[in-house]
Amino acid sequence: MIITLTCNPALDKTIELDSPLAPGAVQRARAARVQAAGKGVNVARALHAAGAECLALLPGSPSDPLVRELAADRLPHRTLPIDAALRTNITLVDPYGTTTKINEPGPVLSAGALQDLQALISSSIEQFNASWLVLAGSLPPGMPFDYYAQLIAALRSSFKERCPKIAVDTSGAPLKALYAFGPEHVPDLVKPNGQELAELAGASCSEAELEASPQLAAAACARLLEHGTTAVLATLGASGAVLATAAGTWHAVHEPVTVRSTVGAGDSSLAGYLLADAAGAEPVQKLRWAAAYGSAAASLPGSTIPTHDDLRLDAVTVTALEQRQGSHS
């Protein structure tokens, strides 16, 4: 069982334009789609579509349109009831795949709600004997910036050797906080994109430099291993993806695809990695699945989540950048 947590879920409305975005002008939509989303929800969708056992955790009233959408889609989920409405995010996609996102801030969760949310997480881990817990997405307004870091430490203290492996996909202060404390706060897997990897690397390199050089990105990923992270999966858009583990570092690139929307591509990459991990795959195959899932998502409209039929594993080339002693792939 893989459990995902989405603290700040969103009802995603994706609008496909028939021409490039023109600020200040009136434009017509070619198509529009609405889907319950948020990074953790997206990961759970991809896992569920692949037949994997999963459970999405999130705040939200049973009557909220987002929660009703999840129920209609039959996505396994549990919610923490709150009084406030969940947010709506708007995504504008032009014919060339250029994506513009407008994200609402989301509802404020009280101190009591945060305690109840942690209890929901713990009870779900206990009941389903989870193998992975995925903490994904932004934090709603007022939530402590180090929430993910402190949650990881608390769960490890509580569950000890029974604690599931923990993956985190976030940005900004919550991402940096993962490495601001001790090793007990550090996730087993972190999945930054180019911008987020640059944030973690500090002033040493820019997003553009990391995306232009897989070797530079791999070096930035490898430095995170020194803090206790077991694996770093960096998604670099059209430049592919890099995976760093104790066994080595690898770069994957997919044959070019026609990009229709980048929304959810990173979430799909993470899901691909977790699916390969659940199958007992070696690092190279985990990276191959991550790259295939991410590229498949980018080729689909809006926040559409790819299924296995959308994948082209044979279109992914994986190159070893460094293999350490005792590694095998």
For the ranges 2-11, 110-119, 319-328, the lowest mean pLDDT is seen at 319-328
pLDDT for the residue numbered 203: 60
Are 315 and 292 in contact, with CB atoms under 8 Å apart?
A: yes
> Tens digits of per-residue pLDDT, 196-218?
999 888 767 888 888 888 999 99
Per-residue confidence at 301, pLDDT binned at 50, 70, 90? confident
User: What's the number of domains the chain is made of?
Assistant: 1
Does residue 191 carry a pLDDT above 90? yes
Interval 54-71: pLDDT, tens: 999 999 999 999 999 999
CB 108 within 8 A of CB 140: yes
Instruction: pLDDT band for 263, please (50, 70, 90 cuts).
Output: confident
322 pLDDT band, cuts 50/70/90, is: confident
Task: Give ∠ CA 186-191-196 in degrees, rounded to 5.
Answer: 95
Residue 96: the pLDDT is: 84
Is the pLDDT at 285 greater than 80, yes or no? yes
Query: Does residue 329 belong to any structural domain of this protein?
Result: no
The reply to whether 71 falls in a domain is yes
Q: Does the pLDDT at position 250 exceed 90? A: yes
Burial degree of 72 (CB within 10 A; 0-12, 13-18, 19+)? exposed
Which of 64, 267, 277, 309 is labelled catalytic? 267
What's the pLDDT score for residue 181? Answer: 95
Strand partners, 136: 169
Q: Is 58 a member of any domain?
A: yes
- CATH (domain of 47): 3.40.1190.20
Looking at residue 114, its pLDDT comes to 95
- End-to-end Cα, the chain, rounded Å: 25
Inter-axis angle of helices 214-225 and 194-201, nearest 10:
60
Does the pLDDT at position 23 exceed 80?
yes
Q: How far apart are CA 30 and CA 14, in angstroms?
A: 11
Average pLDDT for residues 160-183, to the nearest whole number?
96
pLDDT at 164 over 90: yes
pLDDT value of residue 44: 97
Neighbouring C-beta atoms of residue 73, cutoff 10 Å: 13
Residue 58 CB coordination number (10 Å): 28
In angstroms, rounded to a whole number, what is the distance separating the alpha carbons of residues 295 and 266? 9
Closest CA relative to residue 318, chosen from 240, 258, 222, 265? 240
Residues 6+ apart with CB under 8 A from 12: 34, 35, 36, 37, 88, 89, 91, 263, 302, 303
The pLDDT assigned to 33 comes to 87
**Around 266, how many Cα atoms within 13 Å sit in the side-chain half-sphere?**
23
| 328 within domain boundaries | no
Does residue 37 belong to any structural domain of this protein?
yes
pLDDT of residue 110 exceeding 60, the answer is: yes
Q: What angle do CA 55, 59, 63 make, to 5 degrees?
A: 100
pLDDT at 327 over 50: no
111 band by pLDDT with thresholds 50, 70 and 90 = very high
Domain of residue 116, residue span: 2-21+30-323
The pLDDT of residue 329: 39
pLDDT tens figures, 214-239: 999 999 999 999 999 999 999 998 89
Q: What is the mean pLDDT of the chain?
A: 92
83 assigned to active site: no
Specify the pLDDT at position 326.
47
> Quick check: is 97 in a domain?
yes
* Residue pointed to by tokens 């989303």: 37
